[in-house]
Structure 1
Amino acid sequence: MTRFGYTLMCEQSDPRALVRHAVDAERAGFELAVMSDHFNPWLDEQGHSPNAWPTLGAVAQATESIELMTYVTSPVARYHPAVIAQQAATVGLLSEGRFTLGLGSGENLNEHVIGAGWPPVNVRHERFVEALDIINALFDGGYVNYVGDHYRVDSAKLWDLPDARVPIGVAVSGQQSIEAGAPRADVMIAVEPDPELGPAFDAHTRATAPARKVGQLPICWDRDVDAARTRAHEQFRWFAGGWKVNAELPGPSAFAGATQFVRPDDVAEQIPCGDDLGAIVDAVRPFAKAGFTDVALVQIGGEHQDAFLAAAEAELLPELRQHFS
């Protein structure tokens, strides 16, 4: 059985709208709301990027049952892992146990803003492992002292912890990231429906196998197919670059330059555009076959969330559940 989530995409909506979308997504029947954690949008056309953490606090108070997750927060530069642990514990309390801390190694787009440069991938992985160890230690309770190659923690303690430990999810893309993250995590996060990721993660995770596995699928729902294709190209052509490239580009102007030759047809080949339920079912199917327990949909276009959520409640979620329950 596959559960379906909704993406609160900070790059395309202001914080007040995101809270309202979360409430509407819960009402529509989505079981999970994942939130991006960016400093910048991918492209200027998206036009937003509020801070995820106070927005999550507001969402936790405005909703009742929908699960929440960061998708994903990076602990390698912009945030110190001790601060992330405190934020996550607080949202865990405010949501009464509905929060999962999703973590990843980050993108230059968001992390360079503190002026410390963007480290090479091997250093990012080293920092990520240290950060996971620090966050786990703080979630264990008590005082934590830590001296690593990249991070230090001096007599830190989380004074407000939820009764149930906040689960940790890690974003993975291959064996190296699985071996580093899975033993320190409970949930697998991936954006590609690679059927090899799940078994490899289960072989290394500390979770009771099989672990929860959360994927993400962008779509551009619209009754007007041409309008959907145009909007998907305008706001999501960055998606064509792939994560190895996208992690390195420093800002929206760089993404604009890197994608100047991406055509609407190129985007539409990767992202379902329009109101064809069958096309969305076909796009979800590889995730289900790869063993993903959850798929979070991204509706492209901040001003098009209301129509999408209404259609999801009436048409899309019933159709998806018919195929994947």
Structure 2
Amino acid sequence: MPEYGYFLAAEEHDPAALIEQARMAEQAGFQALWISDHYHPWNDEQGQSAFVWSVIGALSQAVSLPVETAVTCPTVRIHPAVLAQAAATSAVLTEGRFRLGVGTGEALNEHILGDRWPPVRVRLEMLEEAVEVMRRLFTGEEVSHHGKHYTVENARLYTVPDEPVPIDISAFGPKALSLASRVGDGFITMTPDQEMVTRFREGGGGTKPVSGGTKVCYGTDRDACVRTVHRLWYNELLPGEMGQVLPSPRHFEQLHELVTEDMVREKVVCGDDVDQHVSTLRAFADAGFDRVYVNQIGPDQRGFFDFYRTKVLPQLAG
């Protein structure tokens, strides 16, 4: 049976709200936390995007749940040597309950310093080299590295956890999945795709953890929930590679009309049908996932946690 965790949406909520949601998640019986790592929200309606490492520091003191970024891009906006220090400190603060989820990222967050946004082949190369650099730094030894994409000279992390920080790799396509299988300590994806889980395990992932996430909108008025999702998270339903290549929230806003409320109604769990919430999460369990994270869209966070504590999580535990 998978562990069930809560997915903190740093694009939609300010730091104080995220900390309070983490407390409610622990009280409701969730077993772990994911937190997004963004420089920008996807659109101005979401309206937030705090520095994730500050929030993780606060989470380490507010709750006892494991925490993972879902996901950090360690390649363009922040050098992997700096992110290694942030991740190592987070692992120390959480007493070893931190995992670093990484991926190739989006132009939305990574191009802000004027760097060229490279094609996916190059981004995967950069990600693999970044993982190598961070793993060497997690040893606490002095590191010098002169690679194709990164240079590190005489760098040493003095504050490191007893065990190296696990690095899970996000993948949606076959090339990224191959990378996750070869070099990841785990695999992250957002759809309950059993074939991808099998390919990860057979490609070298073995018994390493597979984690997945989904978004829902709990509420007693299903139509109101649909409108909330359509207003805040329509970007989840945009087709193709737009999520990786569009450079600013306003570009996502220009595509809002491509997503209809009917599309939301069909694709996103909205409302208070217990069976629908349970079956959505069980789909990940049936596909072989080890950890499943769910995010509540919109302001009714307390209602969501009460609903999951009393009606959804007990069924998932059965």
**What TM-score results when the alignment is normalised by the length of structure 2?**
0.96
1:32 alignment partner AA: A
CA distance 1:262–1:305, shift in 2 (3 Å): same
Q: How does 1:199-278 map to 2 (within 5 A)?
A: 199-205=198-204, 209-242=206-239, 244-278=241-275
2:311 alignment partner AA: E
Range moving further from structure 2, 304-313 or 7-16: 304-313
Is the CA contact (8 Å cut-off) linking 2:143 and 2:154 kept in structure 1?
A: yes
2:29 alignment partner AA: G
For 2:283 and 2:314, how far apart are their aligned partners in 1?
Answer: 19
Correspondence 1:311 to 2:311? no
- Counterpart of 1:142 in structure 2 is 141
For 1:242 and 1:149, how far apart are their aligned partners in 2?
Answer: 32
SS state of the match for residue 269, structure 2? Answer: coil
SS state of the match for residue 136, structure 2? Answer: helix
- Counterpart of 1:127 in structure 2 is 126
Q: Number of paired residues?
A: 318
For 2:102 and 2:282, how far apart are their aligned partners in 1?
Answer: 25
Post-superposition offset of 1:242: 4.3
Fraction of identical pairs, as percent: 39
Q: Deviations over 1:203-247 (max 9, x none)?
A: 344x6x311111001100011111101101111111111462211
CA distance 1:228–1:212, shift in 2 (3 Å): same
Q: Structure 1: where are the runs of 5+ without partners?
A: none
Is the CA contact (8 Å cut-off) linking 2:282 and 2:316 kept in structure 1?
A: no
- Counterpart of 1:105 in structure 2 is 104
Q: Deviations over 1:155-207 (max 9, x none)?
A: 111111111221111001233112223322211101122212222222344x6
1:30 alignment partner AA: F
Correspondence 1:11 to 2:7? no
Post-superposition offset of 1:308: 1.0
Post-superposition offset of 1:285: 3.0
Post-superposition offset of 1:102: 0.4
Q: Deviations over 1:73-116 (max 9, x none)?
A: 00121111011111111010100111111001001111111111
Is the CA contact (8 Å cut-off) linking 1:188 and 1:213 kept in structure 2?
A: yes
**What TM-score results when the alignment is normalised by the length of structure 1?**
0.94
Q: Structure 2: where are the runs of 5+ without partners?
A: none
SS state of the match for residue 305, structure 2? Answer: helix
SS state of the match for residue 6, structure 1? Answer: strand
Is the CA contact (8 Å cut-off) linking 1:220 and 1:273 kept in structure 2?
A: yes
For 2:78 and 2:311, how far apart are their aligned partners in 1?
Answer: 40
Cα RMSD between the aligned structures? 1.4
SS state of the match for residue 233, structure 2? Answer: helix
For 2:75 and 2:239, how far apart are their aligned partners in 1?
Answer: 20
Is the CA contact (8 Å cut-off) linking 2:107 and 2:244 kept in structure 1?
A: yes
SS state of the match for residue 194, structure 2? Answer: coil
